[in-house]
Each structure stands twice: as structure tokens, then as C-alpha cells.
Amino acid sequence: MRLSAVPALLVTCLALSGCASASGPDELVAGVATQEKTGSVDLPAAPVPSVGVGKTSRIGAPQAPQQQEIAWNGAMPAPQAFVRETTVGMPLPAERPVAMLVPDQPALETVPRRGRLQIYSRQFRDAKPINFGRVSPRSYPVHGVDVSRWQGDIDWAKLRTQGANFAYIKATDGGDHLDPMFRTNWRRAKEAGIRRGAYHFFYWCRTAGEQADWFIRNVPRDPDALPPVIDVEWNGESSCKAKLSRTRVLEKMQVFMDKLERHYGQRPIIYTAPDFYEDNLSGELLNYPFWLRAVAQHPSKVYPGRRWLFWQYSGSGLSHGVDGKIDLNVFHGSEEQWHNWASPRTTIAQN
């Protein structure tokens, strides 16, 4: 190459560089706005976001950051809206299993009960007296009776002075039978100043729900009443001779008792006899009060380990005020304990 050509090339390069932008190559690649001015209009430091037609935007309001798009190299997943979920559940039984012990809580209203009633000492006799040994029924100060139509027309005032400080009165059987003397006995016992409660004889051939409904239909809610009783025995003397499994027995009892507790606001008492207890109730329902039949021995020998509230010690009692025989019972406690148990402020469930 000749030396005379060098100045010409140098002049040409200087002329071309004067037409180039002052922006550096990094700025062009990065797409960052420069500080250059075109005419008299200032260019903003960042692009102005566009506002779609029909949309409103406040001036100066912060703009949400734009989300980056994420590439998906695999197959498109199925939309979640079309995914069918399968729920596996247990069919609801017609009656609650015994494991579901906790009943629904009813709305409750507190109602004061009357003051203490006089305790009358036991004057009953027994057509078939039994020697119970050291701990006999006479060891307990509070005695009472249970009655049904078979006791006929009772003189309740006279029966009270004989030692009937409480009475359980038969109300219903199964799902359609009402003791014909229930309403009369219920009213007259209260008039005589006797603490009274109602009991239901349970039939194993009827559903527990309809039996509970039948009892509730016929036994009024009364703040002075003792807790309701479910009488559970084998129905050998009735047309229903079915003997269910222990599990099924407990299920039906639980349904019945839950309904009564919700309605009356008091936990039901369980009355039973030795054979039925051994088949179905030993070791069960420990949070329920029991009323035990034991006419030959003390309950501690017939029902070992079972705590009890009432003891039916005779089915052959005799008393002024009643024609024929009558069932005799004692409360498991002192007079003070009886007053505390029978005369608290009680709660009546509201429908």
C-alpha cells in the first residue's frame, strides 16, 4: 500500500464517525433509553404503559408488574375444572353406632326446682323377705317405689308416709303403647309431694327412634321430674322374642338415650336385670347412671365393679296405699346426697 492513501482514508473515517449515534453498543443491545433529545420533546426514562379501550386508569396510580411467561416443553396438562374427584364415605346408618357417644348439645334454659321435701323412713313390708347380710336395704335412708297399671288406684299421700320418697312410673312400651294409669299416677304423685320420674320398657323389635318419639310424645317436660329411665331386658314374655348382638343392643340404646337427653336436658338412667346385663352391659356405658335389679344379693355381688344409683331389692313389697305387691328400691347415698342429686337447678332443652 502507498503512503499517500493513508490521509485520505483517515479523513473518510472521521467523516463517518460524525454521523454515528453517541450511544454505546451496550445501550443498544440492552434496549435502555438514552438521554438524547429529539427536537423540544423530552423522552421518558421508561416506556409508557398503554391503557386498553374501555378501561380506566388513575394518573399516578402504581402499575402492577408484568408477569413473565414461562415456557412449557411437555404436554399441556388437563384443566383442573375437568378433573373428577371421588369421595369415599360410609353410608349413614339408620341408627347411630355406640361409638358416637357424644350427643348434639341442645339449647338449654335454666329452671329453678322446688325446695327440699321431707324424707320419710321405710315402713314397707316384704312378702318374701331376704337376708342381704351386713349391707341390707335398711342401711340406706332414702327409699322409693316403681309402679305401673298393675298397682291399680294408688293412694299416693298414704304411700308417701310409708317411705315412698321417690317413684318411677311406667309410661310407655315399644312405639305405640301407653300405660293407661300413667297420666293419673304422674299427676297424683306430684300432688302428694313425691319426686317422680317416668320409665320406658324397650322393645327390640321396634326402632329406637320411634320408641324415643313415642316416649317424648307422652311424657311432659317437667323441671321437678327425675331423669327418664330406659328399662332394658330381654322381651321373653312379649311377642318380640328377638335377641340381638351386644353391638346392636348398644347401638339401639344409644339412639334412644341421645334423643331423650336432647329433649329433656337430663341424662337417662339405665334399668336392667342380671341376665341382660351379663349379655350386653358389663363393662359398657360407664358414663351413665344405672338402676339395678338384685332381689337375692347386694348389687356388688351380682354386678361386680358396676357403680349404681338405684337398687331394686324387692318385687314383693307390701304397703298401705297400694293393693297387692309393689317393687321396692333404695337410693345409693345419704339424705344430703339425695337432696343434692334430686333437687338441683336443672336444665330443660328447648326445641
Q: For residue 325, what is the domain's CATH number? A: 3.20.20.80
Quick check: is 257 in a domain?
A: yes
Tell me, yes or no, whether 49 lies in a domain.
Answer: no
pLDDT value for 344: 53
18 domain-assigned: no
Widest CA span in the chain: 155
Sequence-distant (6+) residues with CB within 8 A of 119 are: 141, 142, 165, 335, 338
Asked if the structure places residue 101 within a domain, the reply is no
Q: What is the reported pLDDT for 242?
A: 83
How much is the pLDDT for 237?
Answer: 79
Overall number of domains in the chain? 1
Give SS3 for 339.
helix
Global pTM reads 0.68
Can you give the pLDDT at residue 301?
97
Expressed as residue numbers, the domain containing 281 is 140-350
198 is written with which cell numbers? 317416668
Those residues whose C-beta lies under 8 Å from the C-beta of residue 209, and which sit 6 or more positions away, are: 94, 95, 255, 256, 259
Q: Is residue 250 part of a domain?
A: yes
In a domain, 216, yes or no: yes
pLDDT tens for each residue of the chain, 351 residues long: 444 444 444 434 434 444 444 444 333 333 434 343 333 334 444 444 444 433 433 333 444 444 444 333 444 444 443 333 333 333 333 443 333 333 343 333 334 445 689 999 999 999 999 999 999 999 999 999 999 999 999 999 999 999 999 999 999 999 999 999 999 999 999 999 999 999 999 999 999 999 999 999 999 999 999 999 999 999 887 788 889 999 999 999 999 999 999 999 999 999 999 999 999 999 999 999 999 999 999 999 999 999 999 999 999 999 999 999 999 999 999 999 999 999 854 444 434
| Residue 188 placed within a domain | yes
Q: Nearest CA to 263 among 216, 201, 207, 209?
A: 216
Structural domain contains residue 38 = no
Q: Annotated catalytic, 336?
A: no
Q: Which of 95, 210, 233, 335 is catalytic?
A: 233
